[in-house]
């Protein structure tokens, strides 16, 4: 554990959105976004697979790093798609108001 100040997904989202706005030095985030939502989605998928591999191989340090990559790339994907983390959290709040089985049954109902 470090003495660094707390860091949240909201902090990450703010950094990503600043980089996407074109402010400051050239960034990986901006160069990825310029390639479009498809490339952002592809990169997110690659990172998700790497996290899965790290989990299956039972390498916690690698999984931690890959999970960070997943969250970062999901944040970029959400931003270029016009979706905020707040919208995601609101959806999760709605879903957790009921059991997962009830929520799934509602989605599958004709």
Q: How much is the average pLDDT of 34-49?
A: 98
Question: pTM to 2 decimals?
Answer: 0.86
Around Cβ 100, how many Cβ atoms within 10 Å?
9
pLDDT on residue 13 = 98
Predicted confidence at residue 2, as pLDDT, reads: 66
* Predicted local distance difference test score (pLDDT) of residue 1: 55
What is the band of 12 on the pLDDT scale with cuts at 50, 70, 90? very high
């Amino acid at each position: 554990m470090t003495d660094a100040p707390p860091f949240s997904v909201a902090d990450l989202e703010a950094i990503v959105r600043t980089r996407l706005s074109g402010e400051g030095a050239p960034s990986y985030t901006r160069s990825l976004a310029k390639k479009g939502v498809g490339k952002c989605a592809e990169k997110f998928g690659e990172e998700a697979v790497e996290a899965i591999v790290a989990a299956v191989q039972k390498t916690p340090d690698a999984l931690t790093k890959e999970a960070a990559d997943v969250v970062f790339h999901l944040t970029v994907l959400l931003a270029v798609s016009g979706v905020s983390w707040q919208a995601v959290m609101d959806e999760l709040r709605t879903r957790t108001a009921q059991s997962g089985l009830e929520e799934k049954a509602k989605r599958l109902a004709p």
